Amino acid sequence: MRRNLSHIIAAAFNEPLLLEPAYARVFFCALGREMGAASLSVPQQQVQFDAPGMLAETDEYMAGGKRPARVYRVVNGIAVLPVTGTLVHRLGGMRPFSGMTGYDGIVACLQQAMADSQVRGVLLDIDSPGGQAAGAFDCADMIYRLRQQKPVWALCNDTACSAAMLLASACSRRLVTQTSRIGSIGVMMSHVSYAGHLAQAGVDITLIYAGAHKVDGNQFEALPAEVRQDMQQRIDAAHRMFAEKVAMYTGLSVDVVTGTEAAVFEGQSGIEAGLADELINASDAISVMATALNSNVRGGTMPQLTATEAAVQENQRVMGILTCQEAKGREQACHDAGRATGHER
């Protein structure tokens, strides 16, 4: 996902610049990465940067001239990884940038933390409304896989919705605050048509193509019913995958997950719905996790419940969904989800 940098490019190239040479390298490394450049050459200084070198040069400057050994902070043996803003497939960096976090960066940071001998566990500090579906499921699967090596916890601080909920669900344990917003386990797609605007402007666009579906969903005509149906099928399939992943990661049933009907749960109601485990103050998250690790309570290996305890807990989760504020207007779907797992209200 590239931003429109045409104004910066126009000012930076073929125009005189008054820049200190060392900063010029940083500037053009950063700009080159945004433009998708694979390398940067500085012949006068006999310097050549490849893509990783451009990233390192930028990171070194942002770190105050010291190349960071880590891209996360470690407190009491806990590596804290920020997951903020819109989640995108390939951001090309290991830190959140310009209101976005890349799935590629999350995985890279986790892998680095797994290899770090000073890290006992990882806390994903999440404040995100979600983002792209592309890359999200692979990232969540990697979190689920890596949590077998070291505990990976999620802190909803204060939003973990949709794709961010997917990532949080893959973690060993989920912490929420009293004002957290968690859930929105659903999928959406939008279509824009300029057909009416173009007609008013007297513009007629003709699409010439081969392959019946080549121009499906194009912006120059209203969305045909059959194309909308195809899109709905894609959305439904993605929703099923979403629900199945959350169910696999958390131990909830698929029916309970889909029974939330993409509702957003606040604070305690997220725990009652089974999407979170513990209500805390965000400032206490690291100490809570560190205490758990010191007690050998790892998210993926929490004490096993008896059959009775598990049944009671599952019943509480389902009842939480049935009675929460977000279930109003969705009562039948929630009751169906409860019956599917052996619960009746």
Task: Return the active site residues.
Answer: 162, 214
Q: From residue 209, how far is each of 198, 217, 326 by CA, in Å?
A: 20, 14, 46
CA-nearest of 54, 2, 46 to 29 is 54
**Phi, psi of 253, rounded to the nearest 5 degrees:** -80, 155
Beta strand 78-88 with 121-131 is parallel
- Evaluated on CA atoms 222, 224, 229, 230, the torsion sign reads negative
**Phi, psi of 125, rounded to the nearest 5 degrees:** -90, 95
CA-nearest of 112, 144, 102, 74 to 2 is 102
User: What gap in Å lies between CA 103 and CA 113, rounded to an integer?
Assistant: 15
Q: Are 72 and 83 in contact (CB under 8 A)?
A: no
